Amino acid sequence: MLNLYLYRNKSLVTLLILLSISISLMFFNIKLTVDLQSVLFFITYPVEYSVQAVGKFVSDSFTSISKIQELEEELKITQESLERYKRSQLSFSQLQKENEELKEKLSIKAKINYNTRYAKVVFRDPNLTGDYLIIDKGAIDGVNVNMPVVSYDSAGNIFLIGKIERVNISASKVRLITAIDSYVGVTLKSSGYVGILKGSGSWNQNCSVEYIPVEADAFEGEIVETSGESDIYPPGIFVGRIVGIGKSSVDDFFKKIYVRPEFKYSKIRDVFVIEWKPNVQTDNLIEKTGE
């Protein structure tokens, strides 16, 4: 009976069988596809991740290199700006210093009541006696033999250091008052006595003043200045201070006065050469008296 039914409806049965097979294959194909995708993802993911990581590293490296180059360029620009700033500050400081030095020189020059020529020391006696200096002004600058030379300290005190001994075109030799053959007419400022200051032969030793009477009330610390009784040194220039008083070894009528010159040999840098001539009539009288 069943066989007869199947035989009569074989077309329908065949269709149902084919439909069942198709549905089964469809579900199997979907599952297979999903499994294959999972397997492929599992296999390819590490490779893909590594490639992406390498790519990101390379990209980040190039970015870092670029940033480092930018930072180096910025640093270079900053350093150059800093160097320019330092140079400008140095130039400004140098200008300030030069301006202050110029103001100081002008102030000193204004205190000297004579025409002067500013000069710088360019060489000094290398011997222990240290009895001369070389300055950078000469005949072309109007410097002549026997012109007095003064210097000054940081407090603005002006003092005698010597006179011009030799002159060439652009430089001159200054003989210091401490030289052994140096003589300067001086006055004891407080007591008013006049004498002759004589060099000791060494810049680090005191000078002596001769011909001061025994009755002179000289005292240690008293200022000694030029007397003006000379055709070389004008009056009133600070020379030094009395540091000792004794008796003359050759004459009982005179004292021996010891004077410490005001200048410090190794600190003399700037000087002024004084242009001074005594009264012409007095000069003529002195010459006639000597005849």
Q: What is the pLDDT of residues 114-148, one digit of tens each?
A: 999 999 999 988 876 778 999 999 999 999 999 99
Q: HSE (CB half, 13 Å, CA atoms) of 153?
A: 12
- For tokens 């002024």, what's the residue? 272
Percent of the chain predicted with pLDDT > 90: 41
> Domain-by-domain residue ranges, the chain?
1-111, 118-277
pLDDT recorded at residue 290: 38
Digit-coded pLDDT (tens) for 242-260: 999 988 766 778 988 999 9
> Does the structure show a pLDDT above 60 at 25?
no
DSSP, collapsed to helix, strand or coil, labels residue 72 as: helix
Which of 30-39, 94-103, 156-165 is least confident? 30-39
175 and 139 Cβ atoms separated by less than 8 Å: no
- From CA 11, how far away is CA 16, in angstroms rounded? 9
Q: Note the pLDDT tens digit of each residue in 179-219.
A: 988 999 999 999 899 999 999 887 667 899 999 999 999 99
Mean pLDDT, to the nearest integer, of 21-27?
A: 56
Q: Cβ-count burial of 118 within 10 angstroms (0-12 exposed, 13-18 middle, 19+ buried)?
A: middle
Residue 22 has pLDDT above 50, yes or no: yes
Q: So what's the pLDDT on residue 108?
A: 86
What does the radius of gyration of the chain's CA atoms come to, in whole angstroms? 53
Q: Cα dist. 224→209, 232, 241 in Å?
A: 10, 17, 6
- 36 pLDDT higher than 60: no
pLDDT at 30 over 50: no
May I ask the CATH class of domain 118-277?
Answer: mainly beta
Q: Are 157 and 151 in contact (CB under 8 A)?
A: no
Whole-angstrom distance, CA of residue 147 vs CA of residue 163 = 5
Closest CA to 226 of 131, 283, 282, 149: 149
Q: Which amino acid is at 271?
A: V
Tell me the per-residue pLDDT of 66-123, one tens digit each, with 9 for 90 and over: 667 777 777 777 777 777 777 766 666 676 777 777 788 888 888 898 999 999 999 9
| Alpha carbons 117 and 148: distance in angstroms, whole number | 11
